[in-house]
A and B are shown apart, each in its own frame.
Chain A
Amino acid sequence: MNTPILTESLINKGNLFFPEAASTFASGVDNPFLMVFWLSVIFFVPILVVIAIFLVRYRRKTADQQALAQITHNTKLEIIWSVIPLILLIIIFWWGFNGYLKMSVPPKDSLEVRVTARKWSWSFNNLQDVIETTGELVVPVNQPVKLIMSSDDVVHSLYIPNMRVKKDVVPNRYTTLWFEAVRTGNFQIFCTEYCGDGHSSMLAVLRVLSESDYDRWVLAQKKKMQQVLPLNELGEISAQKYGCLACHSVDGNSGVGPTWKDVYGSKRLLADGSSVTVDDNYIRESITNPSAKVVKGYPPAGMPVFAGKVSDKELAGLAEYIKTLGNKK
């Protein structure tokens, strides 16, 4: 996993069914669910008991034993077992619809964040405070947050279990979702629409901060933005921003793509049998046109093309960053 920040456990915190709730939507989701659950139990247990009683009481004891009675219908009974469930289902429908309506209408004073999804990372552009982050969404507690989302490539879906929200993120179209966190903490963000090899690594973290912590975080970010970063640090940030690390490890483990550890200056055998020395030009080409020289044993079109998406400065930064992970030259 590439998530550097530990998120709240979904399994250990909360009740048997749900991770611990952290947004205003929880009651609109959990309560209808629990109502259906208990209604199901109320229906299911008697059904099983009745079946068990029938199996024991009416069990065939002799080979030629007939039925005790042939009953072809009972209008009263049939109306009861059609109408009662129908009424219950309409009540459940209405409850679920209400919860859904609440999710569909973001309040006017929401903090707006533009979300960009791509294979396989999330970027968050906070419009109010003019801060862009990748891999983490930072918001203040007790503040409605509206996400305006679009995808660079295929369909993704943003899912935050603790907030009880999910919405598909579609290319060439904007979808929105909103939530209001009611407590601080670090919460898991998943991609839940299958999007290829890195789908299960397309994770991010929602950090909900207290108002004062949030203000401090904004100031720190602004300060950072004014600094001139060393190129290798810019590269490290870019590697997170573009989701490189979802497939390329920095610790030597093999992933969807080759690791970056100790790769700079090394000789790599390519799929076509030739070999190449990893230098600045090879790195640049592998980012802008990944299928040009594919390392043997890796998928031929496994990586998206980044030409036109990564700036020249970032390309240089990435090469410098990879250099810091082990240089054999």
Chain B
Amino acid sequence: MSNSNSSLNFYQAARGIKSWMFTLDHKRIGIMYLVAISIAFALGGVFAVLLRLKLMVPGPFLFSAKTYNQLFTLHGAVMIFLFIIPSIPASLGNFVLPLMLGAKDVAFPRLNLASFYVYLLGSGFALYSLVAGAVDTGWTFYTPYVTTTDTAVISMTFAAFVLGFSSILTGLNFIVTVHQLRAPGMTWFRMPLFCWAIYATAIIQILATPVLAITLLLLIAEKTMSIGIFTPALGGDPVLFQHFFWFYSHPAVYIMILPGMGIISELVTTFSRRDMFGYRIVAYSSIAIAIIGFLVWGHHLFVSGQSEFATMLFSLLTFLVAIPSGIKVFNWIATMYKGSIELKSPFLYALSFIFLFCIGGFTGVVLATLSADVYLTDTYFVVAHFHYVMVGGTVMAFLGGLHYWWPKMTGRMYSETWARVAWALLFAGFNMIFFVQFILGSKGMPRRYYTYLDQYQPMHAFSSVGTWVFGLGFIVMVVYLLRSIKHGALAPDNPWGGLTLEWRSASPPILENFVETPHVATGPYPYPGPHQ
């Protein structure tokens, strides 16, 4: 089974800085993305801890209102554009997708490297905007506020514009890879569900991102040349910007969550030794979410003054998205039924995903309900809902995937004990920060407030203390993961007993992934056990 002695792994295949800079290997590009998005995540996290620190008390404290506004804007912009959109697809997806498909690489390796450099270029503009006058508009860049502020809006929106192209290139690459490079015998319905999820994500990436690109260009044109597209003083329509922006940014939340759902499907099957319950339905539900996700952007504008008829349709369509998401949750649980369940750290993340994503989903139903949304929108309730889906969902799934594929990526095992400690800290810290924000929001606390009524103080302080627990969890994780690279036990090729193709490669894989191209004759999860 093991090929690791007979051939050099992909780290050993070439040495030196140039071998990384000019690599066309999807695994190395995945690793470079992983490092880059981790740095972005740390940066966005520091902003979050700082702004929560300010919110310990009402009134002026630590920062001015302006600095606070810059902090929450940068937290959002960095987390969304530099971290969460590229996170799973560009790092784990890049590394694992070709392996799972039994391919040697992605379809366009040069494009893959180009996407990474475009990402770095975009990040460069984002970092420049930090120095040149950090943006204070909120990551949503709403007009006309954005045209009145003197902060570095142009470099930040241009950064998002450039980063969008990185996302498009990755998506395009993955679509062609899935179509063209599946191993012999791997039909569409023999593909692992993570590949389905990445495929659905890629469709959104290439269809929705151009809309963001053109919107941001229009915004830059408006800001520099005062054309009058969005600026009311020049006859423009500020609400038009909101439509354009959410036409991308709502599908974008599915770019963020779908790959996470794909990871959970992999974790549940492997750690239950079970074939996926309702495989086809779960695959189709990813596509359904991708399609319906394009038709719900107006639910961000229920109180904007858009027509009541449009509002009704957007509300109805939003309710419909809940169905495929709910089906996935039921299928994951049914997959555990009569399984052989091992509670390893990746599976703990999968369980916490299901728990937190359910809360995010239920509160999403509350927000889809029109009369309730009128009351709750733009309060902390929305902040909490969003973070339950994006952090409780996507980030937990990302960490689950990271712990699942870490032995494959590095060839080393991390400390399972410390992994559990970190998981417990993250789970507890996360709920401390955000659960209380549901109550804050339903009790009327508006979002993006520098100061607040004294009566909200105890709940704010509690939430802020949660960020320390959450942050400690990440510090522990960074320590044991980095330590494992040098001191961890050597990883076997298949530490978890997974049946998808990536586990047939060596840990870490050889440059061309497989010694012999795998042939596929069954579905992705042919675990033994009596069929019923």
Q: Does B61 contact A (CB under 8 A)?
A: no
Interchain CB contact under 8 A, B339 and A93: no
The contact of A190 among B142, B359, B446, by CB within 8 Å, is B446
Which residues of A in the span 293-325 have a Cβ within 8 Å of any Cβ on B? 299-302
Q: Which residues of A contact B311 (CB under 8 A)?
A: 100
Interchain CB contact under 8 A, A73 and B278: yes
**Which residue, of B69, B137, B319, B322, has the highest number of chain A Cβ atoms within 10 A?**
B319
Q: Does B184 contact A (CB under 8 A)?
A: no
Which residues of A in the span 52-66 have a Cβ within 8 Å of any Cβ on B? 54-55, 58-60, 65-66
Interchain CB contact under 8 A, B532 and A92: no
**Which residue, of B277, B351, B368, B369, has the highest number of chain A Cβ atoms within 10 A?**
B369
Q: A69-B338, A81-B327, A93-B369 are in contact. Are A256 and B145 (CB under 8 A)?
A: no
Q: Which residues of B contact A93 (CB under 8 A)?
A: 315-316, 319, 368-370
Interchain CB contact under 8 A, B374 and A58: no
Q: Does A103 contact B (CB under 8 A)?
A: yes
The contact of A200 among B65, B303, B340, B341, by CB within 8 Å, is B65
Instruction: Give Cα A12–Cα B443 distance, bound, in whole angstroms.
Output: 10
User: In angstroms, how far is the closest chain A Cβ from the Cβ of B217?
Assistant: 21
Tally chain A residues at the interface, Cβ within 8 Å.
96
User: In angstroms, how far is the closest chain B Cβ from the Cβ of A189?
Assistant: 11
Interchain CB contact under 8 A, A97 and B527: no
User: In angstroms, how far is the closest chain B Cβ from the Cβ of A234?
Assistant: 29
Q: Does B239 contact A (CB under 8 A)?
A: yes
Q: Does A178 contact B (CB under 8 A)?
A: no
The contact of B377 among A98, A166, A196, by CB within 8 Å, is A166
Q: A72-B279, A256-B66 are in contact. Are A192 and B374 (CB under 8 A)?
A: no
Which residues of A in the span 161-200 have a Cβ within 8 Å of any Cβ on B? 161, 164-168, 170-173, 175, 188, 190-200
Q: Does A86 contact B (CB under 8 A)?
A: yes
Interchain CB contact under 8 A, B303 and A69: no
Interchain CB contact under 8 A, B275 and A70: yes
Q: Does B22 contact A (CB under 8 A)?
A: no
The contact of B142 among A9, A37, A155, A254, by CB within 8 Å, is A155
Which residues of B in the span 441-491 have a Cβ within 8 Å of any Cβ on A? 442-444, 446-453, 455-456
User: In angstroms, how far is the closest chain A Cβ from the Cβ of B498?
Assistant: 14
Instruction: Give Cα A55–Cα B341 distance, bound, in whole angstroms.
Output: 7
Q: Which residues of B contact A92 (CB under 8 A)?
A: 319, 365, 369
Q: Does A281 contact B (CB under 8 A)?
A: no
User: In angstroms, how far is the closest chain A Cβ from the Cβ of B436?
Assistant: 12
Interchain CB contact under 8 A, B340 and A65: yes
Instruction: Give Cα A173–Cα B239 distance, bound, in whole angstroms.
Output: 10
User: In angstroms, how far is the closest chain A Cβ from the Cβ of B274?
Assistant: 5
Per-residue contact bits, chain A 21-61, to B (CB 8 Å; 1 contact, 0 not): 00001001100110011001001100110110011001110
Interchain CB contact under 8 A, A69 and B340: no
Interchain CB contact under 8 A, A188 and B375: no
The contact of A165 among B351, B366, B374, by CB within 8 Å, is B374
Interchain CB contact under 8 A, B334 and A188: no
User: In angstroms, how far is the closest chain B Cβ from the Cβ of A37?
Assistant: 7
User: In angstroms, how far is the closest chain A Cβ from the Cβ of B23?
Assistant: 37
Q: Which residues of B contact A28 (CB under 8 A)?
A: 371
Which residues of A in the span 96-139 have a Cβ within 8 Å of any Cβ on B? 96-104
Q: Which residues of B contact A48 (CB under 8 A)?
A: 355
The contact of B527 among A70, A81, A90, by CB within 8 Å, is A70
The contact of A50 among B137, B278, B333, B456, by CB within 8 Å, is B333
Q: Which residues of A contact B337 (CB under 8 A)?
A: 54, 58, 69, 71
Interchain CB contact under 8 A, B366 and A33: yes
The contact of A54 among B341, B359, B529, by CB within 8 Å, is B341
Specify the chain A residue showing the minimal Cβ separation from B335: A71
Q: Does B187 contact A (CB under 8 A)?
A: no
Per-residue contact bits, chain A 70-81, to B (CB 8 Å; 1 contact, 0 not): 111110011001
Tally chain B residues at the interface, Cβ within 8 Å.
96
Instruction: Give Cα A126–Cα B512 distance, bound, in whole angstroms.
Output: 76
Instruction: Give Cα A283–Cα B210 distance, bound, in whole angstroms.
Output: 49
Interchain CB contact under 8 A, A60 and B447: no
Instruction: Give Cα A9–Cα B445 distance, bound, in whole angstroms.
Output: 12
Interchain CB contact under 8 A, A155 and B330: no
Q: Which residues of A contact B374 (CB under 8 A)?
A: 29, 100, 103, 164-167
Per-residue contact bits, chain B 316-360, to A (CB 8 Å; 1 contact, 0 not): 100110110011011001101111111100000001001100110
Interchain CB contact under 8 A, B444 and A19: yes
Q: Which residues of B contact A302 (CB under 8 A)?
A: 66
Interchain CB contact under 8 A, A300 and B150: yes
Instruction: Give Cα A299–Cα B133 distance, bound, in whole angstroms.
Output: 12
Interchain CB contact under 8 A, A78 and B528: no
The contact of A58 among B235, B341, B362, B371, by CB within 8 Å, is B341
Specify the chain B residue showing the minimal Cβ separation from A96: B369
User: In angstroms, how far is the closest chain A Cβ from the Cβ of B505?
Assistant: 22
Per-residue contact bits, chain A 145-162, to B (CB 8 Å; 1 contact, 0 not): 000000001110101010
Q: Does B2 contact A (CB under 8 A)?
A: no
Interchain CB contact under 8 A, A36 and B303: no
Q: Which residues of B contact A166 (CB under 8 A)?
A: 303, 374-375, 377-378
Q: A54-B341, A89-B323 are in contact. Are A199 and B303 (CB under 8 A)?
A: no
User: In angstroms, how far is the closest chain A Cβ from the Cβ of B310?
Assistant: 12
Q: Which residues of B contact A220 (CB under 8 A)?
A: none
Q: A166-B374, A188-B453 are in contact. Are A66 and B528 (CB under 8 A)?
A: yes
Interchain CB contact under 8 A, A167 and B340: no
Q: Which residues of B contact A154 (CB under 8 A)?
A: 142, 144-145, 148, 238
Per-residue contact bits, chain B 367-405, to A (CB 8 Å; 1 contact, 0 not): 011111111011100000000000000000000000000
Q: Which residues of A contact B316 (CB under 8 A)?
A: 93
Per-residue contact bits, chain A 251-269, to B (CB 8 Å; 1 contact, 0 not): 0011110000000000000
| 16 A/B residue pairs, CB under 8 Å, sorted by A | A17-B443, A55-B341, A69-B529, A69-B530, A70-B530, A82-B323, A89-B319, A101-B308, A154-B145, A170-B232, A171-B233, A172-B233, A194-B448, A197-B65, A199-B69, A200-B449
Q: Which residues of A contact B (CB under 8 A)?
A: 1, 9-12, 14, 16-19, 25, 28-29, 32-33, 36-37, 40, 43-44, 47-48, 50-51, 54-55, 58-60, 65-74, 77-78, 81-82, 85-86, 89-90, 92-93, 95-104, 153-155, 157, 159, 161, 164-168, 170-173, 175, 188, 190-201, 253-256, 299-302
With contacts A104-B308, A196-B148 known, what are 19 further pairs, Cβ within 8 A?
A32-B369, A36-B362, A36-B366, A44-B358, A65-B273, A66-B340, A68-B339, A69-B529, A70-B531, A71-B337, A72-B275, A72-B277, A97-B315, A154-B238, A157-B303, A166-B374, A166-B377, A197-B136, A300-B150
